[in-house]
Amino acid sequence: MAIIRSIPSEKVIGGRIIKSSEIVIVSEPEYTSNGEGLIILKDIDFCKVKLNHLATDHVRIKSLTNTLIIPDIGRFDEKYDELSINSDACVEFYFAQGNWYITSSDGLKMS
């Protein structure tokens, strides 16, 4: 299992400078976002991803495995406490005013 990061980048989120990478490939059963633009999940049976609003305000998740996504605070679209997405799905999130908003998705199954 591994976490592979692309070229390092810096972003300002909530007035703080976050050192991250544009793309991260995750093969771990759990992962917390850290300012990446794209998280790719693969080579595992299941992954739980926590969206960290202190380090991430916009992220796309491409999952090549079944995945559970949870927010560190707030809800998804002000309704959902978690999202389950199937393998091969992709979903995009923005954080605003205490909640995460889904702005684009395919293959999404809400729980």
pLDDT of residue 1: 61
- Kindly tell me the sign of the dihedral angle through the C-alpha atoms of 97, 58, 34, 19: negative
The CATH number of domain 3-110 is 3.30.200: no
Write out the H or E segment, with its range, that includes residue 101.
Answer: strand 99-110
Query: Where in the chain are the domains?
Result: 3-110
The count of other CB atoms within 10 Å of the CB of residue 48 is 15
pLDDT digits (tens, 9 = 90+) for 20-78: 888 999 999 999 999 999 999 999 999 999 999 999 999 999 999 999 999 999 999 99
Confidence of residue 111 (pLDDT cuts 50, 70, 90): very low
Is residue 80 within 8 Å of 101, Cβ to Cβ? no
